[in-house]
Amino acid sequence: MKKVWKGFAAAVSAAAIAATGFIGATSANALSATQGDIKITNSVNGDQFDLYKVLDLTTSKKDNKTQYSYKLIGQDVTPYVATSETAAIVAAYNATVAGLKKNDKPIEQLTAPADGASADALSAFQQKLADALAGLDGDVDGDDVTTLTAPTAKTFANNLMEQLDGKVNPTTSVTATSANYTIENVDPGYYLMVQTAQSTTKPQTITKSAYLLDTVVANETTEVTLKKGTVTVDKQVMDWNDTDNKTAPVVDPTKITANDNKWGSSADHDINDEIPFQLTGTLPESYDRYDTFKYIFNDTLSKGLTYNSNAHVYMLPTGEGAVEVDVTNAFDISNKTVTIGEGEDASTATEITIAAKNDDLKTALAALNPAQTAAYGYKFYVRYTATLNEGAVIGNPGNPNEVNLEFSNNPNNGSEGTNTTPTVTVVVFTYQYDVNKTFEGGTPAKGDEPEFTLYKKIEGDWSTISTQKMTAGNKFNFVGIDDGDYYIEETRVPQGFTKAQNIYFRVSATHNNGTTGETATKPSSTLTVTYYTDNTFKTETTISGTLDSSAGLITANVVNKSGNELPSTGGMGTTILYAAGAAIVLIAGIGLAVTLRRRQA
């Protein structure tokens, strides 16, 4: 027979009380006075548990039905000796009902039997305890927990653990060696089960289980379902291609939506782009078990991104047609500059903390106007923008940005203890285009060096990106570009040189979004560049240059040639011709004079 234990449901109810104690479910299987098993659903290899038996159990049959009789630990021993288990269960009950009323009368406190109590006194107390525990509500879901006025099994379990801790040794302690682990050969009785440690293989996203109460019956398997849950966090960055866009993208954090198709785990952008980021956090299935719940996003931007101090937080309930609710005022949002790494690897980063106020998401939401509540299945979105600055890394490994989520992971005893999710990383890439300039037939005069201007097609129009002057080595560096259509024009031509032809090119990038797990890899970018004959971008061509995809560097080689001077008058050639002609005339004149004198003689 399998008894399914639903959460905190105590193995007692008003209908299960008889003069002999608590009476549980019947079984069609033959029973024996041996031992039972406990199957722990949702357990994983490495989870650790303590079991505390607080009541004994005997079984009997009547009319072919099995009846269960709960007794105090040591009740059948003569003379009776008061036990720590009974003291704990009485103290826990009294703390649970303290200050509460039933039928407008205070709920009566219990007094545990003293040493040497008679059998009749023990039997009477056993009945009183049975009636008292039967009055506990069982498993209570969701939002009702915060408004309960009746004593609950949840509160009783918490109080019972507080009374047992340090006063009573666990009846047994086990470590799960497999998923859905089964504890075998457990003595019959009423038990409190406590998860003392989480698996070291999956510790970061799973909360501890709440305390569980149930009955172990001989020759039966009691199935208990751990009331824990998984908390996840995600981070996304918005990516777009200016050339493909028909209108400017929406970057206002108060107007962006979670289902925008531009979200991804990597992006490439121009320097000075304002880039939206989105963090997404979830709640565990056991959220309703917590009295308080710590919830903190720890976000980090690398030095290439400047936070714009505009984070907003939204809560998305479950259900068809649910809409986001602005819950920014339930969170404290701060940022600071920190140094990460050491020595040559040291760099600055910006840490952004988005924390539920007063370390309690529940009270922070309740304090809003109008008041809000959250539940399992709800999502929390944090959206903000950061500007890609001149300190950005060019090419791979890009400009990483990380987030983790710190959350309460123990619903017991005041919800103490936290876990932190694995870190999620997104990367922003940017690239560089260099022009290497050479001159044929001379060198420009100082102060008359060429200048090149880079243009980009943005939303259908050509826009000036920047104009660069020549640097050492005859280079022109256009730093911080992303994918799109571009052309470069020589907008200042040195005297005596011809203007270089415009260079039309298209930059494309393919992102590898990386992997998670033990062999996690970070996102990376593969860069390509295609050249065209003109601004129609229809006919491809080639130019002299290089592409270093890993470094994100594109290089083009451009030659400036000096012009060939056309023929002209009034130059030195004419002067020489004139001189030569004069010489010929002079010689001819001398010769003529000599000839005339000879004739006259």
Residue 368 has pLDDT above 60, yes or no: yes
The DSSP-derived string for 510-523 is EEE--B-STT-B--
Residue 50 structure tokens: 């303590």
Residue 134 structure tokens: 């039967």
Average pLDDT on 413-420 reads 72
- Coil, helix or strand for 573? helix
Closest CA to 497 of 437, 556, 441: 441
What's the pLDDT score for residue 114? 95
Let me know: does 314 contact 378? Beta carbons within 8 Å.
no
Residue 488 has pLDDT above 90, yes or no: yes
Q: SS3 for 158-221, per residue?
A: HHHHHHHCCCCCCCEEEECCCCCCEEEEECCEEEEEEEEECCCCCCCCECCCCCEEEEECCCCE
Confidence of residue 595 (pLDDT cuts 50, 70, 90): low
Q: Tell me the residue type at 128.
A: K
Would you give the distance in Å from CA 113 to the centre of its chain? 54
Confidence of residue 590 (pLDDT cuts 50, 70, 90): low
Residue 370 has pLDDT above 70, yes or no: yes
Residues 426, 427, 432, CA angle at the centre, nearest 5°?
A: 170
Closest CA to 362 of 442, 288, 292, 464: 292
Let me know: does 331 contact 293? Beta carbons within 8 Å.
no
What's the pLDDT score for residue 6? 30
What's the pLDDT score for residue 588? 62
Question: What are the tens digits of pLDDT across the range 83-118?
Answer: 999 999 999 999 988 988 888 888 899 999 999 999
Lowest average pLDDT, out of 29-43, 77-91, 467-481, goes to: 29-43
Average pLDDT on 228-255 reads 92
Residue 406 has pLDDT above 80, yes or no: yes
- Coil, helix or strand for 117? coil
Average pLDDT on 39-58 reads 89
- Coil, helix or strand for 130? helix
Residue 601 has pLDDT above 70, yes or no: no
- Coil, helix or strand for 120? helix
Average pLDDT on 225-243 reads 88
Query: Phi and psi (nearest 5°) for 429?
Result: -105, 155
Residue 271 has pLDDT above 90, yes or no: yes
Average pLDDT on 33-52 reads 87
Distance CA 21, CA 18 (A): 5
- Coil, helix or strand for 379? strand
Count of all residues that appear for the chain in the document: 601
Residue 266 structure tokens: 């990597």
Average pLDDT on 177-184 reads 90
Closest CA to 293 of 413, 377, 421, 407: 407
Confidence of residue 23 (pLDDT cuts 50, 70, 90): very low
Confidence of residue 318 (pLDDT cuts 50, 70, 90): very high
Q: SS3 for 6-20, per residue?
A: CCCCCCCCHHHEECC
Residue 501 has pLDDT above 60, yes or no: yes
Lowest average pLDDT, out of 148-162, 231-245, 271-285, 326-340, goes to: 148-162
Average pLDDT on 479-493 reads 96
What's the pLDDT score for residue 574? 52
Confidence of residue 561 (pLDDT cuts 50, 70, 90): confident
Residue 268 has pLDDT above 50, yes or no: yes
Let me know: does 542 contact 531? Beta carbons within 8 Å.
yes
Distance CA 120, CA 223 (A): 35
Confidence of residue 120 (pLDDT cuts 50, 70, 90): very high
What's the pLDDT score for residue 397? 92
pLDDT above 90 coverage of the chain, percent: 55
Let me know: does 47 contact 229? Beta carbons within 8 Å.
no
Query: 385 versus 411: which is more confidently predicted?
Result: 385
What's the pLDDT score for residue 334? 98
Residue 432 has pLDDT above 50, yes or no: yes
Q: For residue 428, list its beta bridge partners.
A: 267, 399
Distance CA 230, CA 428 (A): 29
Looking at every residue in the chain, the average pLDDT score rounds to: 84
pLDDT above 70 coverage of the chain, percent: 81
Let me know: does 24 contact 58? Beta carbons within 8 Å.
no
What's the pLDDT score for residue 11? 34
Question: What are the tens digits of pLDDT across the range 121-149?
Answer: 999 998 899 888 877 765 443 333 233 34
Residue 470 has pLDDT above 50, yes or no: yes
What's the pLDDT score for residue 13? 29
Let me know: does 117 contact 81? Beta carbons within 8 Å.
no
Average pLDDT on 353-373 reads 97
Residue 2 has pLDDT above 50, yes or no: no
- Coil, helix or strand for 358? helix
Closest CA to 287 of 409, 391, 399, 205: 409
